[in-house]
Amino acid sequence: MIKKNVNLRQYNTFGINVFADSFFELNQLEEINYLKEILKNYDKKIILGGGSNLLFCNNFNGLVIKNNLSGIEIINRNEGKVIVSAAAGESWDNLVTFCVENNFYGIENLTAIPGTVGAAPVQNIGAYGVELKDVFYSLEGFSFSKNSFLTFNISTTEFGYRTSVFKKLKNDFLITKVNLQLSRNKKFNLEYKSLKDALSQYNIYEIDLKLINKIIREIRNSKLPDYTSLGNAGSFFKNPEIDEITFNKLFRDYPDISFFKVENKYKISAGWLIEKCGFKGKKDGNVGCYEKQALVIVNYGNATGNEILNFSNKIKNAVYEKFNINLEPEVNIIQ
């Protein structure tokens, strides 16, 4: 059941050509008992979902655990709400499609996000004004250090902007199942500007889940490259948050700044910052910023992980030098 010297190129959306010393595919929940035993032989391990938020900089000298647990089911339904349960290895977009087809409202704005269900709460994925935490009910998983299954509800997840308690637990905790609470009553979130603009041509009575799903898929496809033809991990950096004093100074110098306010902070578009530094569409060997979205770093050929990391550091340094703002990677860098 353990494969040796496995090429991880097909398991990461950057398409980095690196190898795992050992590779295990978890297909059934019962196999965790076997996994516990074999882990005694390894000092390093990493849990892999869709590989859509990873940058491998070197070969991985340890055990890669590929989570393939699959299945979607409805576990509770009443007049107004429904709880949908999905296994961690299930495709996130498959789950969104399932909910759209069943008229369950809440995650349609998260259409076409690559990766697996189990990775979604780790990052607290978000798009078009919606985050996973908005519909999260609970999740189950296995703690290797505690040698037991644990359940987390919303009060214990520590969800934040692209973060959660599961990021802190890292590869000690293997998520097995995620439960979401969705609405059975018509309930949309259409406040995000590009989504609102795209839907403005439709009568309010024409708008339904399938239309929103279709529109968001079209918007994403128009802005973001398909990783199967151009390796990438989506947004490489988080949108930085700054205080009001820093924002006001920045706004005086750059009144066209792209931002939105979150409580007493201002979230600045990382893509806007990177574009202002001249990186949009810029190519450096096998690496570059996507021509339609500066926030996306792409692998134009056979780039190594270190080439991509070095290019990202050039971006970070340029943004800091020009704006005195420090960009943090959203991508998980494995060195």
Active site residue 269: no
Q: What is the 3-state secondary structure (H, E, C) of 105-136?
A: ECCHHHCCCCCECCHHHHHCCEECCEEHHHCE
Active site residue 162: yes
Catalytic pick among 22, 162, 307, 312: 162
Catalytic pick among 22, 164, 235, 312: 235
> From CA 120, how far away is CA 206, in angstroms rounded?
30
SS3 39: helix
> From CA 215, how far away is CA 155, in angstroms rounded?
33
Q: Which two tokens stand for residue 138?
A: 């609970």
> From CA 210, how far away is CA 107, in angstroms rounded?
12
Active site residue 217: no
With vertex at residue 32, the alpha carbon angle to CA 27 and CA 36, rounded to the nearest 5 degrees, is 140
Q: C-alpha distances in angstroms, 93 versus 97, 100, 141, 334?
A: 6, 10, 21, 25
* Residue positions counted in the chain: 335
Q: Which helix (H) or strand (E) holds 227?
A: none
Q: Which two tokens stand for residue 286?
A: 């096998």
Residues annotated as catalytic are 162, 235, 330
